[in-house]
Structure 1
Amino acid sequence: MKLSQTFPFALTLLRPATALVGHSWSVSGVSDDGIREITFPINIANAPHKVGFYFAQQFTFAGQSNVGYTGLQPQVDSSAGSVVHAAFSSFVPGTTTTDQNCHDGADGGAGVSCAVNIDGTYANTYNLNVKNSEGTTWVGTLIDSVTGKETHIGSYTLPATTRGIEGSQLGFVEYFTGTKECGDLPKTAVTFGNPIVKGLTGSIDVPYEYGDCVAKSAFETHSVKDGVEISVGF
């Protein structure tokens, strides 16, 4: 799923995904050429260890109208313990990749999708780092904020006209496996940390409900230190 920044309550998704919560993030003082590195902290300590939820932050590259995104998806535990799935995608037509963690296409359209699974605790906050490595090539990295362990998610190269990441976009919570009744939505919670850019200040606006389960999903949100917490479900 991806959210439209022009129309905050409009969305493009593949059925039967259930769109739930959106929010706006911004970084002050970003130039017209954009930024070359940004980090999105996400904590899913209170998410169920089941496939279904996606907690994501979108970003727009200067010179392009389509977005990229990165985020976390809880998974069923393995024999080794809890599993965290990290995604890093581009919806920009003409995006290419030779990365073994990536493949062509994003949500059934143009772009590239990259992902990796790790054995890792849900208790720790994970930093999703998006960095320009050279030219128009961008790399996604998952970083455990407690242990410092870094895991490569993927990399892709954007068209030559692409510049850096712009200073604002949207994030979202969705239940991508879908549910027929809003009352059947599993309970979950996520904390989105303010985006981190060296030398600049990032922030997140108050999250809002959208989609078919507005006022039917037990949505709650409140500010926490350096971010916002969101909960939905029963």
Structure 2
Amino acid sequence: MAGASHDSGYYFAEQFAFQNIKNIGYCGIQNRPNSHGESIVHAVFSSFQNGTTTSDANCHDGADNGPGGYLHLAVENIPGTTTWTGTVINTATGAQARVGSWTLPSGAGGIESSYSGFVEYYRGTQPCAKLPKTEATFYNPVSKTPGAGKGVVGEPYEYGDCVGKVDFSTTKVSDGYEIKVGF
């Protein structure tokens, strides 16, 4: 996110599907204004599956006003369970912070190997031609879960009210995609 703006508004997200259940989840990042000269990033880890539960103090029931749960992110399964943990990782320093966990309904399997990503300007208050320029890189997902395998990030796409109006582009890079959007 080195080229990302330091304002609220953009959501860079990767969707994922679980084996044996219908609804998806996603994880992503949203910039926030700097605080005391330091960059602030809000990480999101959501399940839209009905029956998702959590007792984690960092988590809440529901996702985007629907069923599921979310964390305020590496995603790791607790072996032998349907419980998943979200961890924020600073890829520049390696620093990690556990954010919380939620449990999918019984019978849920592992994460599917491929899905898709999106970029959304969620504030919806600016004319499309005035959206701030930002950029980020999505890399293939990784997991520390034994036997989880390697995922593949799908090519990110535009989402929201300004599709086709904001100079959106993606460039394939080693193990992912670089995304640029805005003016």
After superposition, the Cα gap between the structure-2 partners of 1:169 and 1:206, relative to the gap in structure 1 and judged at 3 Å, is closer
Deviation at 1:224, TM superposition (A): 2.0
> Identity percentage over the alignment?
54
Give the SS at the match of 1:183: helix
1:68 aligned residue: 25
SS of the counterpart of 1:152?
strand
**Is 1:228 the equivalent of 2:177?**
yes
In structure 2, what is the equivalent of residue 109 of structure 1? Answer: 66
Alignment map for 1:103-182 (pairs within 5 Å):
103-115=60-72, 128-134=73-79, 135-182=81-128
- The TM-score normalised by the length of structure 2 is 0.88
Matched residue, 2:42:
85
Matches for 1:186-205 after TM superposition, within 5 Å: 186-196=132-142, 200-205=149-154
**Structure 1 residues 232 and 95, CA gap change in structure 2 (3 angstroms):** same
What is the deviation of 1:226?
2.2
1:22-60 Cα shifts (integer Å, max 9, x gaps): xxxxxxxxxxxxxxxxxxxxxx11111111111111111
Q: Which of 113, 121, 129 does residue 183 from structure 1 map onto?
A: 129
TM-score in terms of structure 1 length = 0.70
Paired residues of 1:88 and 1:153 also in contact (CA < 8 A): no
Q: Tell me the distance in 2 between the aligned counterparts of 1:222 and 1:99.
A: 38
Residue 183 (structure 1) shift: 0.6
Superposed CA deviations along residues 89-126 of structure 1, whole A, max 9, x for unmatched, are: 111101110111111110010011110xxxxxxxxxxx
Equivalent residues of 1:89, 1:113 under 8 A apart: yes
Query: What does the per-residue CA deviation read over 1:176-215, in whole Å, with 9 as the maximum and x for residues that have no partner?
Result: 1114521121111111112235784543444444554333
> Highest relative contact order (Cα 8 Å, sep 6+), 1 or 2?
1
| Structure 1 residue matching 2:34: 3-state secondary structure | coil
| Cα distance in 2 between the residues matched to 1:98 and 1:202 | 28
Q: Which residue of 2 aligns with 1:30?
A: none
- Tell me the secondary structure at the aligned position of residue 96 of structure 1: coil
Unaligned runs of 5+ in 1: 1-43, 116-127
User: Displacement of 1:144 after TM fit?
Assistant: 1.6
Contact map agreement 2:48 2:63 (CA 8 A) in 1: yes
**Coordinate RMSD, CA, aligned:** 2.0
Q: Distance in 1 between matches of 2:137 and 2:156?
A: 11
Q: Would you say how many aligned residue pairs link Structure 1 and Structure 2?
A: 179
